[in-house]
Every structure is written in structure tokens, then in C-alpha cells.
């Protein structure tokens, strides 16, 4: 019997997507509102989602659904426990953003450490043009060489960030955490990482244990000249606490690519932060052309492997 494969938010993936090799019907929707999920998946055996929420109330109405292919590494959009109870396989993407996310993180780090936003604003305002010297040094500039990068999350992306950091001559500390832990990694107690890092970069999933992992108490432990970088998941950082920390000078700056609510709507607190030591980008760290194509290819690989009885990259 042919499978019915339904992609609920195709516009979230800007890459070519080959069709699975087995007999099937393939249906794409550019985007899907919460109230459309059940109707669109009613006949589906395989669902593809990126950020569309699949929770127990919807899953309970989808007896034909056998597999969910998540078009991302993070799978917090899926009720994994409910899928486990119903025998629905859930597969995610592995090791696809090992270059693009670390590169984006370091773009934020370099822009903040060298005060590029502030200097660019000054040039646009004509400050350099009025200077009586060949340069002006109104904003502090710091080197990465010799500084310490603290990393929360020692997966492929965290390891990618560590590789770049070492190339800059930085010392790297991986924060210790509850099991499971990657093998072959030397861990440093979390509080020591907070206290010793000149840059703290988050590369861990959003779970019940990591939600608001970085709040005001944690930022009070950090160096006053430290940077906080989040290219992982919104919700890892208490966003109101971040604003307070920036206002009080508890940290030197922050670079974020993710927010708790995406897309942000009017009134999101971080949209109103207008200061050169805070950079917000619209969840694009993962989105190099090369990474998106790798993701698209592995997405179909995951579906084909499941259909052939050899599932891979399962999270349930």
C-alpha cells in the first residue's frame, strides 16, 4: 500500500527536495496553521515538519500516522512521549549544521568583540569624517586570541565552534551537565565555565532541564566583559533577565539568532533593544545554502530508511 507523505511547512526549507524512492503520494503545504494540522494529516502515514507543532491532542486524531520526519535537529515541536505511546517513529536531522552555525556564532562574536556595529553607526553619522586623526577609538576592541570560550553542548555543532575557537587561539571549556555526555570530552563544572568564560556560547537542545538555563543568577556569575551567544534555541535564556543584565552592565554584550517566540510579534521585549552591544538575527544561523541542501537530502534519507525497515536518526 503506498504511503502518503505530507510536508506541513515546505516554505521553511529553501532547498531542492527529491521524492522518496518508494511508492507514495507526496503533498506539500507552504505553511500550516495549528487548526489545519489534523485535517491535512488525516490520511498521512508520514508527516514532515520543521516548526509546526504536533502535540498529543492532534496525534490522537491521526491513527494512520506512522512516522514524523523533523526537518531540523531540534524536535521540541513534537510530543515525543505521545509518539512513543502510539508507536509513531520520530527522526531528526543530524550533523547538518556543523559549519554554518559555528560560523554564524563567530560572526556575532567578532562583531561584538570588535564593536563593529558601534563603529559602523559612527561612520554613518559622519564621526570619522570629522575626526582630526586617521582613526578614532571611541569604542573598546578586544582580541579573541588568549581569551576563553565556554560552550554549553558538546555535540557536532558545539565541537565545530570549539574548532574555530582554537584556530583563533582561544581556550575552550565545555560545561558539565547531566548524562548523556559525549565521550572523549573534558568537562568543567558549569559554574566555573560561567565565571571563567570571556564568551559563553550555547549549543544545546531546549528541554525541560535547559529551559531558562541562563537567567539573572547565571549572568551575575559571568565576567563583566563577557559575551553571551545563543544560536541554538530560544528559551535557553531568560529574555527579560538578559535585558536587565545588559542594562546593568552585568555582561558586555549578547548575540542571539533565536527567540522564545518565533517569529516575534509586536511587543517582544528583545525587539525593542536598540544598542550596539546586542545583535539579533532572524534564526538564520543554520541556513547556508550548503547546510539546507544537506538537510533536505538527509530528510528524505531518513524517510526512505524508515520505509525500508532500517530506521535511522530516531529520537523515539
**What sign results for the dihedral spanned by CA atoms 268, 272, 273, 276?**
positive
Q: What is the DSSP letter of 18?
A: P
283 catalytically annotated: yes
Q: Residues near 252 by Cβ (< 8 Å), separated by ≥ 6?
A: 112, 223, 224, 225, 226, 227, 277
Q: Which residues pair with 253 in a beta bridge?
A: 227
C-alpha–C-alpha distance, residues 303 and 203, integer Å: 26
Q: Which residue is catalytic, options 28, 56, 248, 262?
A: 262
Query: What's the sign of the alpha-carbon dihedral 52, 56, 58, 59?
Result: positive
Nearest Cα to Cα of residue 144 among 194, 109, 105: 109
Nearest to 206 by CA among 234, 228, 178, 239: 234
Catalytic residue of the set 10, 104, 113, 283 = 283
Nearest to 258 by CA among 279, 227, 288: 279
Closest CA to 201 of 229, 221, 167: 229
- What whole-number distance in Å separates Cα of residue 234 and Cα of residue 69? 21
Rounded Cα distance between 298 and 314, Å, is 13
Q: What is the C-alpha separation between 110 and 199, in angstroms, rounded? A: 11
| Measured CA angle at 173 (ends 169, 178), to 5 deg | 160
Q: Which residue of the set 3, 203, 233, 313 is catalytic?
A: 233
Active site residue 262: yes
The neighbouring-strand residues paired with 229 are: 201, 255
The catalytic residues are 233, 262, 283
Amino acid at each position: 500500500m503506498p504511503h502518503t507523505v505530507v510536508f506541513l511547512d515546505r516554505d521553511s526549507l529553501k532547498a531542492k527536495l527529491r521524492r522518496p524512492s518508494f511508492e507514495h503520494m507526496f503533498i506539500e503545504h507552504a505553511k500550516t496553521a495549528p487548526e489545519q494540522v489534523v485535517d491535512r494529516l488525516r490520511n498521512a502515514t508520514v508527516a514532515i515538519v520543521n516548526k509546526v507543532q504536533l502535540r498529543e491532542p492532534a496525534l490522537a486524531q491521526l491513527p494512520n500516522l506512522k512516522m514524523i520526519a523533523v526537518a531540523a535537529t531540534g524536535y521540541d515541536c513534537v510530543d515525543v512521549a505521545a509518539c512513543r505511546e502510539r508507536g509513531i517513529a520520530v527522526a531528526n536531522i543530524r550533523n547538518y549544521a556543523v559549519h554554518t552555525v559555528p560560523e554564524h556564532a563567530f560572526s556575532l562574536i567578532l562583531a561584538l568583540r570588535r564593536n563593529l556595529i558601534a563603529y559602523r553607526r559612527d561612520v554613518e553619522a559622519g564621526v570619522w569624517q570629522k575626526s582630526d586623526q586617521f582613526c578614532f577609538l571611541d569604542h573598546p576592541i578586544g582580541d579573541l586570541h588568549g581569551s576563553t570560550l565556554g560552550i554549553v553542548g558538546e555535540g557536532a555543532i558545539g565541537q565545530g565552534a570549539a574548532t574555530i575557537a582554537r584556530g583563533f587561539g582561544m581556550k575552550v571549556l565545555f560545561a558539565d551537565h547531566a548524562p548523556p555526555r559525549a565521550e572523549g570530552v573534558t568537562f568543567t563544572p558549569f559554574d566555573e565555565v560561567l565565571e571563567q568564560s570571556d564568551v559563553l556560547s550555547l549549543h544545546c537542545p531546549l528541554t525541560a532541564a535547559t529551559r531558562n538555563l541562563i537567567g539573572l543568577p547565571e549572568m551575575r556569575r559571568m565576567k563583566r566583559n563577557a559575551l553571551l551567544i545563543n544560536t541554538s534555541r530560544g528559551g535557553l535564556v531568560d529574555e527579560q533577565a538578559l535585558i536587565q543584565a545588559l542594562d546593568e552592565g552585568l555582561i558586555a554584550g549578547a548575540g542571539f539568532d533565536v527567540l522564545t517566540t518565533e517569529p516575534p510579534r509586536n511587543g517582544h521585549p528583545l525587539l525593542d533593544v536598540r544598542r550596539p552591544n546586542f545583535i539579533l538575527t532572524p534564526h538564520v544561523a543554520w541556513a547556508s545554502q550548503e547546510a539546507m541542501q544537506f538537510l533536505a537530502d538527509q530528510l528524505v534519507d531518513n524517510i526512505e530508511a524508515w520505509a525500508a525497515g532500517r530506521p535511522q536518526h530516531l529520537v523515539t
